[in-house]
Structure 1
């Protein structure tokens, strides 16, 4: 399948659930994918390398979906190289509160942010330990108010939220039903049609 993609220069959307196996090949192939608009992938070791390649070669790129830890290092790469990114999905990922605020403050072109089922961590000044954030505060909601859609789910009763916490923010997708990693995306698309603008909390 991947080999076929390499020979498809008009490729617009690519989904890579096993990124660690193809990272080097894909970064080279991005040179050919001038029309790439959307990429879904797990987190990677060297985000700037990939993001810079996308910024250089893919003029219409607008949608990135990450299935893995998303830290300030990754966030800074997006701000530096893809400041006009419109859609960012971090669902079922580990996300630090400071990183979320950084994204909201600096990705000025962002229209849709999906943090549903994220393991959101707040790190207070030492020696206090980090803690899981179970409810978004007023500061985050105000910063997210400029978005067209801010999609969240942080329910203790939600199975996907439970799985993200049990897997410590690095979802072991292979343990669950095949195709589960993409089910929520279709659900979100349906719900987005039912609201006009703003904060969308998924009821699981």
Structure 2
């Protein structure tokens, strides 16, 4: 299927680095990628392979634990991203900041229902520096309200939230599953 434009990769689908690289080399027209990633189950996901092959990729939804080193891999290779959703992921404030300043074409970022490394919801009252940077640079920055029902209902580690239904929805329509 060389002409697909939207692809969702569930947590259990990864093969080897070589097979992943080959598959993405065939998808030159890919515009939207939705990926559930849990390093302990799937191993390393190669964003370099995606970036080198999929120059039309403008939409990414990532679900899982986005570690700081993964952010450093995303930024140089996915510069064409306009819309990024980390909805229901576990991500640090630093990773969010580096994505905001590093992805030059980014216009929308969704961090709703995310937890940071200390399991606090990412909200307006947490890290004003990240919020200020995002609101100055982005057209749309989506975070949870203080009294978010979804965040209050989920006290578990958010890297497991792909088992829940909440991650399938998205406030960015191009990334709704």
Calculate the TM-score normalised by the size of structure 1: 0.71
Residue 104 (structure 1) shift: 1.8
Q: Secondary structure of 1:56's match? A: helix
State the match for 2:27 in structure 1.
33
> 1:199 corresponds to which residue?
none
Residue 42 of structure 1: SS of its match in structure 2? Answer: strand
Give the 5 Å matches for 1:54-203: 54-121=50-117, 130=118, 132=120, 134=123, 135-144=125-134, 145-153=136-144, 155-159=146-150, 161-164=151-154, 166-174=155-163, 176-177=164-165, 180-183=166-169, 185=170, 187-189=171-173
Query: Any conservation in 2 of the 1:117–1:154 contact (CA below 8 Å)?
Result: no
- How many corresponding residue pairs? 165
Give the deviation of 1:26 after TM superposition. Answer: 3.7
Compute the displacement of 1:156 (Å).
Answer: 4.5
Instruction: Name the CA shift for 1:35/1:96 in 2 (closer, same or farther; >3 Å).
Output: same
Unaligned runs of 5+ in 1: 1-7, 122-129, 191-204
Partners of 2:92 and 2:80 lie apart in 1 by 22
- What do you get for the CA RMSD once the two structures are aligned? 2.3
Contact in 2 for aligned 1:94/1:120 (Cα 8 Å): yes
Distance (whole Å) between structure 2 residues aligned to residue 188 and residue 55 of structure 1: 21
Maintained 8 Å contact 1:92/1:171: no
Structure 2 segments unaligned to the other structure (5+ residues)? none
Q: Which has the larger radius of gyration?
A: 1
- How far apart are 1:59 and its partner, in Å? 1.8
2:116 aligned counterpart, secondary structure: strand
> How far apart, CA to CA, are the structure 1 residues paired with 2:149 and 2:84?
22
- Provide runs of 4+ in structure 1 moved above 6 Å: none
